Structure 1
């Protein structure tokens, strides 16, 4: 067989060089794709970590807010007296109801003193009490916030007989109602909404139902009408 000509050798060499160049280009392109994929993974992992971190921070905030078995207002510093005044110029259609004007405002780091027992409004905790029935006293500062949202709060002397407490529980089994015992009251039962208060001697007093109908989630008397009475603190029965 005749030896390859010089031209054929040059053509073969050129073809090999072209294949090697193409191979190097494919390797470079693959490396670039790998680099971009790694960058995307890094961004995704970083974003996921940020979301997780945010969730952890939010969870810790929620734990702090609702710590101590559903009680807030711990680690308070400083003292204030809630700004609440009698309002004889405001009338109520229900006989015996006392009326008040009350300032609003959240005081997360203050010990709040209320001049009325139980309170009828004024500065309060940033977190409201979940509406419902409680067999133990709740903190005034959280109950006041619930009334700001439209709740009616029935309180009773801890020594009230069980059968009378049961009657109050029947009245409180609806939305935007709070029921709990309370120390230091001048009458066995007190019914309160923001700025209005009725003191009675027994659960059969018809004015209790009239009060609830008049002031529970009342657009005209609820400072923050439309706000919730769930999602706060406390575990009602």
Structure 2
């Protein structure tokens, strides 16, 4: 009888061990499936976050004003309203989008609007030849005053104004042959004509608008840009 009991117990013990091992195998399989699922979900989440990040960067670039080279003078329509001191203030909103093509400005010389990403050097720079409007407008955005003249301006006035500009950071000077008056002064959103280099309006305009309240980007550099 004792032998019979030992014989029947052995298979039962073996079956129990087999069931335990089977359960362990099943548990390990479930664990592996869980890890695979976690890795798969994590991959999808990371990919989604990368996609969202790329979209945000692209959108930010568009909002910051780089249009990929399309000229656009949006918001630049309007007219000058002149105060008693002769200074004209542009009535319309001036765009500030960076563009790499020519811009059709509604005023001449332009006093603002979409412009080239590179500013014209304006650290008292005097240019003997015409400069691109789009780069000059960027200099105005930095708070500079732009002195322009055509071939009707007296040589003495041109020389005197050039001397003043050379002594004034945040100013620049260049010829604009098709402007309406012989000598004109421009700042962001503002412009006026002066009769000569000795006109008191010259000093007043410089005092008001060199790094004046109208400046969209006060303190921005006037060096390290385009120079001719």
Same topology, TM > 0.5? yes
Deviations 1:18-65 (A, max 9, x none): xxxxxxxxxxxxxxxxxxxxxxxxxxxxxxxxxxxxxxxxxxxxxxxx
Matched, 1:141 2:127: no
CA contact (8 A) 1:82 1:113 kept: no
Matched, 1:118 2:109: yes
Matched, 1:214 2:201: no
Q: TM-score, normalised by structure 2?
A: 0.63
Alignment of 1:18-37 (within 5 A): none
Shift, 1:153, TM fit: 0.2
Q: Aligned to 2:223, which of 223, 227, 230?
A: 230
**Match of residue 97 from structure 1:** 87
Quick one: structure 1 residues 184 and 82, their matched pair in 2 at CA, closer, same or farther if it must change by over 3 Å?
farther
Shift, 1:160, TM fit: 2.4
**Match of residue 6 from structure 1:** none
Aligned to 2:116, what secondary structure does the other structure show?
A: coil
CA contact (8 A) 1:98 1:197 kept: yes
Quick one: structure 1 residues 78 and 224, their matched pair in 2 at CA, closer, same or farther if it must change by over 3 Å?
closer
**Match of residue 63 from structure 1:** none
Matched, 1:197 2:191: yes
Shift, 1:103, TM fit: 1.7
Cα distance in 1 for partners of 2:133, 2:179 equals 13
Structure 2's unaligned 5+ residue stretches are: 1-67
Matched, 1:175 2:165: no
C-alpha root-mean-square deviation of aligned residues, in Å?
2.0
Give the paired residue count.
Answer: 155
Cα distance in 2 for partners of 1:82, 1:142 equals 17
Shift, 1:98, TM fit: 0.7
Deviations 1:87-121 (A, max 9, x none): 64xx86x711110141211012x321111110010
Shift, 1:125, TM fit: 0.2
**Match of residue 39 from structure 1:** none
Matched, 1:150 2:143: yes
Cα distance in 2 for partners of 1:184, 1:83 equals 23
Cα distance in 2 for partners of 1:81, 1:210 equals 30
Shift, 1:202, TM fit: 1.8
Shift, 1:189, TM fit: 0.5
CA contact (8 A) 2:121 2:139 kept: yes
Runs of 4+ in 1 over 6 A off after TM superposition: none
